[in-house]
């Protein structure tokens, strides 16, 4: 039997847990405008019973000038406490397709100190296809206390990223599509140069899962090897704005790889600066 990630849970398991004490379900769906989907709207039209919507644009550092960058531990704790979520809860996150933006919310909660955090396989699309229960109520949960324990070592910021690129010792895994990575396709955000950081390797988020389910661990090992990522060495993950980079982070942790960080500003920051080096050939 194929070995699966210890951080994923099945839809059958989630459905059996609904309504249990200290069990929280979070809709972490987020989409680019070009995708033609709206996470908040879809949540209002039907979500897993008891699920709370996590707005990745709202629960962010709005002073950064960048999209949905990581908030301070205090701001995060205040926001999720108001959503009725405690750091000691068992937390299950889903998104629409299954394994695209939910890992970012998983990464945020774990980086802020929650430990029992999982991603549901198959996403809301799969839940609906299976005819599982939905509700449209917009919940007003009772406030909870979330005590943050910020793991700063899991985050890389711009100055750290400059050093990583300059030194070339830490591997860079980029989750964007091959066209965006190579610079042949335009970036979805205006004003960004095309291409990738020198030395980066492309690990497109779409290659990590099938039908909304993270691939088995052996398949992930093969995928990273083919991308040129050595799992015995440190890795920093990146993408367009720090969301799908977390899918690579999730896959790495699933394989027991702990020596990794996420570049929170990602290409939205790197590609907007005039003095950061950029390559356009496939890396």
State pLDDT tens for residues 148-181: 999 999 999 999 999 999 999 999 999 999 999 9
> What's the CATH code, domain 153-270?
3.40.250.10
pLDDT score, position 154: 98
| Dihedral sign of CA atoms 172, 177, 180, 186 in order | negative
State pLDDT tens for residues 52-95: 999 999 999 999 999 989 999 999 999 999 999 999 999 999 99
pLDDT score, position 1: 65
CATH 1.20.1740.10 holds for 8-149: no
pLDDT score, position 283: 46
pTM of the model: 0.97
Q: For strands 155-156 and 260-263, give the pairing.
A: parallel
> In the chain, what are the domain boundaries?
8-149, 153-270
Q: State CA 236 to chain mean position distance.
A: 14
CA gap 50, 112 in Å, rounded: 23
Crossing angle, helix 245-254 and helix 102-111, to 10 degrees?
A: 70
Given the residues 77, 120, 155, 239, the one annotated as active site = 239
| Dihedral sign of CA atoms 189, 192, 194, 199 in order | negative
CA gap 109, 147 in Å, rounded: 11
C-beta of residue 84 within 8 angstroms of C-beta of residue 24: yes
CA gap 7, 214 in Å, rounded: 10
How many CB atoms are closer than 10 A to CB 37? 14
| Known catalytic membership, residue 239 | yes
């Amino acid at each position: 039997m194929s070995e699966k990630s210890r951080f994923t849970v099945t839809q059958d398991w989630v459905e059996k847990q609904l309504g249990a004490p200290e069990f929280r379900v979070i809709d972490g769906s987020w989409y680019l405008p070009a995708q033609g989907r709206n996470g908040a709207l879809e949540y209002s039209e039907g979500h897993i019973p008891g699920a709370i919507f996590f707005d990745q644009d709202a629960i962010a550092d709005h002073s950064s000038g960048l999209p949905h960058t990581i908030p301070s531990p205090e701001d995060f704790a205040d926001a999720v406490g108001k959503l009725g979520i405690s750091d000691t809860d068992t937390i299950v996150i889903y998104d629409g397709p299954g394994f695209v933006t939910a890992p970012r919310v998983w990464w945020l909660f774990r980086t802020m100190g929650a430990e029992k955090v999982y991603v549901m396989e198959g996403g809301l699309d799969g839940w609906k296809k299976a005819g599982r229960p939905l509700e449209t109520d917009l919940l007003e949960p009772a406030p909870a206390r979330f005590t943050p324990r910020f793991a700063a070592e899991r985050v890389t910021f711009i100055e750290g990223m400059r050093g990583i690129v300059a030194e070339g010792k830490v591997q860079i895994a980029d989750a964007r599509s091959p066209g965006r990575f190579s610079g042949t396709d335009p970036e979805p955000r205006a004003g960004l140069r095309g291409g990738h950081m020198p030395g980066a390797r492309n690990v497109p988020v779409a290659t990590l899962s099938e039908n909304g389910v993270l691939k088995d661990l052996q398949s992930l090992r093969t995928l990273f090897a083919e991308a040129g990522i050595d799992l015995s060495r440190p890795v920093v993950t990146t993408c367009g704005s720090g969301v799908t980079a977390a899918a690579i982070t999730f896959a790495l942790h699933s394989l027991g790889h702990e020596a990794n960080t996420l570049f929170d500003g990602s290409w939205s920051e790197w590609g907007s600066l005039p003095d950061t080096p950029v390559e356009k050939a496939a890396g």
